[in-house]
Amino acid sequence: MKALAAAAACNHLRPQDATFSRDSLQLLRDMAPSPPQPCPQHNAPCSFNDTVLDTNNTQQADKTTHDILQHLFKILSGPTTPAHWIDSQRQSLLNQIQRYAQHLEQCLADSHTRFWTRWPRNPHLTINKHFSCLHAFLHDNDYSACAWDHVRLRARAWLLSPFQNCLR
């Protein structure tokens, strides 16, 4: 019975999942027009192992989604975002990310579950490592518009495919 309650803890979010992704993609597109100058191609400085997003465990997917949203919020709310980004749209996106992450946090707390993962695949560590790499990439490129465009494209990729699988 306890397992059933835990499994259903975040089910009320499922109808919001599709609109969250669609609305977030629109806000991301609206807030960040193309950089003023064409960007040179960057080699993928921070590869992300998308297999951490591939899980049939809805609780793990909810936790992984929450972790990614927390990191996205942190990186997009920093003071070094490009001047050509539209701040009102960025604030709307941040508000949306924060609201959804808070809903996930609450339902994860309500489920009273612990998320133990076995080696070699620990999504939390993989996500932390990836976002640390993105922060270093931004710093190493002096928080340029092109470096931020890379981060924006990475966020877009999460909201499109493998990340979308977590939002089921």
Q: What is the CATH number of the domain that holds 59?
A: 1.20.1250.10
Is 86 inside a domain boundary?
Answer: yes
Is 77 inside a domain boundary?
Answer: yes
10/48: higher pLDDT: 48
Of 49, 41, 95, 43, the residue nearest 72 (C-alpha): 95
Is 6 inside a domain boundary?
Answer: no
Q: What percent of the chain has a predicted confidence (pLDDT) above 90?
A: 20
Residue 125 has pLDDT above 70, yes or no: yes
For the chain, give the mean pLDDT. 77
For residue 145, the one-letter residue type is A
Is 9 inside a domain boundary?
Answer: no
Q: What is the model's pLDDT at position 162?
A: 47
Read off φ and ψ for residue 84, nearest 5 degrees. -80, -5
Q: What is the model's pLDDT at position 5?
A: 39
Of 158, 162, 168, the residue nearest 25 (C-alpha): 158
Quick: pLDDT tens for 50-97. 666 666 777 777 888 888 999 999 999 999 999 889 999 999 999 999
What would the two tokens of residue 149 be?
């465009």
Residue 120 has pLDDT above 60, yes or no: no
Find the domain containing 25 and state its range. Answer: 16-31+49-113+121-166
Rg (CA), the chain: 16
Domains in the chain: how many in total? 1
